[in-house]
Structure 1
Amino acid sequence: MVPLATTEGTLVASINRGLKAIYASGGAISVLHKDAMTRAPIVRFGSAVRATQLMLFVEDPLNFDTLAAVFNRSSRFAKLQKIQCQIAGRNLYIRFACSTGDAMGMNMISKGVQYVLEYLQNDFPDMEVIGISGNFCSDKKAAAVNWIQGRGKSVVCEAIIKEEVVRKVLKTNMDSLAGLNVNKNLIGSAMAGTVGGFNAHASNIVSALFIATGQDPAQNVESSHCITQIESAQNGKAIYIAVSMPCIEVGTIGGGTQLASQSACLNLLGVKGANRESPGANARQLARIVAGAVLAGEVSLLAAIDTDQLMTSHMKYNRSSRDVIQLASTE
């Protein structure tokens, strides 16, 4: 079961059909290959020379263990993984990446960054901190740095769907479905100049799941970065479908996860709260669930478009003959 908070009835029906197709073909497999929240403060010096000196110091592998020790003192769960810099004139943007346990981790990483900045000012007293976030993070914005390097959880979810299932459940054929994916999700998105938008409607599913499970809805922007692939498989007897999502930003503790309804949805999924035996495991599992739901939504919507059922489905499931306002006023 996948909890969704949405006013779009067709979305629920579509994901249900996609899940049915995947289940009937043996299920899906997901892999989480990166787990690191990021924060990038902006600091300024009197000259580009001094900014470069700090950049070289921060990125020197010989200094990483010292900086990591300072950063990691800020939390039991915060573990610094990487520091990357970009310079613009006398401004330096320092992108910190760290694991954050089962929390989404924005507050956690910001605290660790503050510790490091205070430490660096001992050796660089002329460093001026302009802001704890310099938009090189990049939070709640479509950004190439997130699309390429990832932010939060990076997940790939894949499935093999049999030809019979494509025909009977999705009501289309494999060649047509794969062709539509190329022409719409890949070429069409390239024509639009998208960043991370090589998909049919990943944000639909991400938003509905985020609201249902108490995530930050605004982080749907980068969490919906996704590329959908559909290819022939098993000598033409099935299709291979995959979604690659490098920026799923989720947590199972803190924030909206503590609300009653959202907490119940997390409990339904078996990922409520912190995993005490394996810190971070619950949040990672939630990210995999998000990717799996997106996989189902992608294959179903593409099938609906391919068979010209998109409009009729919306008319059927998104319209009601009942006057909800009038019903509410009479109860």
Structure 2
Amino acid sequence: MTDLKIPRDREDDYAPEPIQARQQHIRSHTGSALEHTSSYSLDPGTLAGNVESFFGVAQVPMGVAGPLLVNGEHAQGEFLVPLATTEGTLVASYNRGMKLCREAGGVTTTILDDRMQRAPVFSFGSAREMRDFKDWLDAHFEQVAAAAEETTSSGKLVDIQTFSVAKMLYTRFNFTTGDAAGQNMTGKATFAACAWIKQNYPAELHFLLEGQFATDKKTSVVNMLHTRGKRVVAEITLPSALVEKHMNVSTEKLFNARMRGQLGSMMSVTNNNGLHSANGITAMFIATGQDVANVAESSALYGFSELLPNGDYYASVTLPSLIVATYGGGTGLATQRECLEMLGCYGAGGVRKLTEIIAATVMAGELSLGSAVVAEEWVQAHDDLGRNRG
């Protein structure tokens, strides 16, 4: 039997020798030349904590869209937006939407909530024991919060939501996490809190650190209603003449299409009554070093539109669970840091600015694709620019 054990170095697995050993191991056993994946400009020594058994890189092409005009509380002015994607027409579509939004005066963005959670479940012998514990937990919140916050310099326990069923109490420990996304931070802090609870609660209890009620990296109604990450709104009012000029549709047709899409979204029971929020979010996540699996929650969207009495068009998107960071994770890696620096968002104090830029980007993309579908330009655009080319 062929030995496929991957070469590793217990002392320094990011040194040139173990990396080259893995590359040769892959070449020998697969026949792949690794001509491109083994070529990179980043320093492998910076990758500890980001990837194991490193052997190379995946190069994703990036395009730039903009300028995007944002009227936010943290992001103000025009931005050039990096989008990492292999989907033809994507950058062009977002660019078109950004042009429309800029001429209409820009996208207004507002962050409404900020929380990251871990969700322990506590188990008891009966429902009455569970009810007694809930009352005790409410009365001891300050001590629980103090125990949690001993593990972090930037995390703060905001509240503990409780949801009772049978003889179990499902909880959501909600934290603010500064400029980090915070999943690991909240896990460590919540475990410390639960340890304090178990030590100090005067009766028997059992807990699991995660009862799958935080729905980490999964779409869920609970996160859409109660927030995971940032809850942010992007909104704009578009003059009817401007929509017809740039999008070749009337605002009335755009609104009618929106109403039909609402019904289709309801029938399909989706997490999103928009069109393609995952496209822009994923492209920005890859470019800026976010945890791309968080697109599962982050792409959730509530879209709302109005056809105003004068024919103008009000549009908004609410992203209820946008999980982003400008510190920690992959944000400090070479290319990802450069993209965050393009946006003026790298490091401490940048996460709310990045949140607003992403929300405004999603708004531009929704308007562009929605108009293309109504104007029957969607398929032609993919024929001209995308992978439909035969």
In the alignment, which residue of structure 1 is the partner of 2:366?
Answer: 298
SS in 1 for 2:83: coil
Write 1 or 2 for the structure with the bigger share of helix: 1
Determine the C-alpha separation between the residues in 1 that align with 2:311 and 2:353.
Answer: 31
Structure 2: runs of 5+ lacking an equivalent = 1-79
The residue number in structure 1 matching 2:200 is 123
| Deviation for aligned residue 1:142 | 1.2
CA deviation vs aligned residue, 1:153-172 (integer Å, no higher than 9, x gap): 00001011111220111111
1:91, CA displacement in angstroms?
2.7
CA distance in 2, matches of 1:230, 1:111: 41
Give a deviation string over 1:304-327, Cα, whole Å, max 9, x none: 1001111111111114879xxxxx
Amino acid at match of 2:285: F
- CA shift at 1:63, angstroms? 2.5
Provide the rounded CA distance (Å) in 1 between the counterparts of 2:128 and 2:322: 37
Matched, 1:87 2:161: no
Q: CA deviation at 1:255?
A: 1.1
Alpha-carbon separation, structure 1, partners of 2:91 and 2:227: 28
1:104-123 paired onto structure 2 within 5 Å: 104-123=181-200
Check if 1:210 corresponds to 2:288. no
What residue identity is the alignment partner of 2:374? D
Number of residue pairs matched by the alignment: 310
Trace 1:43-192 onto structure 2 (pairs within 5 A): 43-58=122-137, 60=138, 62-124=139-201, 126-130=204-208, 132-184=209-261, 186-192=262-268
Are 2:105 and 1:30 equivalent residues in the alignment?
A: no
State how far apart, in whole Å, the 2-side matches of 1:319 and 1:227 are.
Answer: 29
Q: CA deviation at 1:120?
A: 0.5
**CA distance, structure 1, for counterparts of residue 113 and residue 326 of structure 2:** 17
Relative to structure 1, is the Cα distance of residues 301 and 136 closer, same or farther in structure 2, using a 3 angstrom cutoff?
A: same
Kept in 2, the 8 Å contact 1:39–1:138? The answer is no
- Asked whether the equivalents of residues 228 and 298 of structure 1 are also in contact (C-alpha less than 8 Å), the reply is no
**Residue deviations 1:266-317 (CA, integer Å, cap 9, x gap):** 1111110112xxxxxx111111111101000000000010011111111111
TM-fit CA distance, 1:66: 2.2
Shift of 1:241: 0.9
Helix, strand or coil for the counterpart of 2:286? helix
**Structure 1 pair 170/321, CA: closer, same or farther in 2 (3 Å)?**
closer
Structure with max Cα Rg? 2
Task: Identify which of 298, 318, 321 aligns with 1:244.
Answer: 318
Return the alpha-carbon distance in structure 2 between the equivalents of residues 320 and 246 of structure 1: 33
| TM-score using structure 1 length | 0.90
2:82 match: secondary structure: coil
Matched, 1:3 2:82: yes
Give the 5 Å matches for 1:227-238. Answer: 227-233=302-308, 235-238=309-312
User: Which structure's relative contact order is higher, taking Cα pairs within 8 Å and 6+ residues apart?
Assistant: 1
Deviations 1:250-272 (A, max 9, x none): 01111111221111111111110
Fraction of identical pairs, as percent: 37
Deviation at 1:126, TM superposition (A): 2.3
Match of 1:308 in 2: 376
RMSD value over aligned CA atoms? 1.6
Q: Within the alignment, does 1:260 sit opposite 2:328 as a pair?
A: no
User: Does the CA-based 8 Å contact 1:166-1:174 persist in structure 2?
Assistant: yes
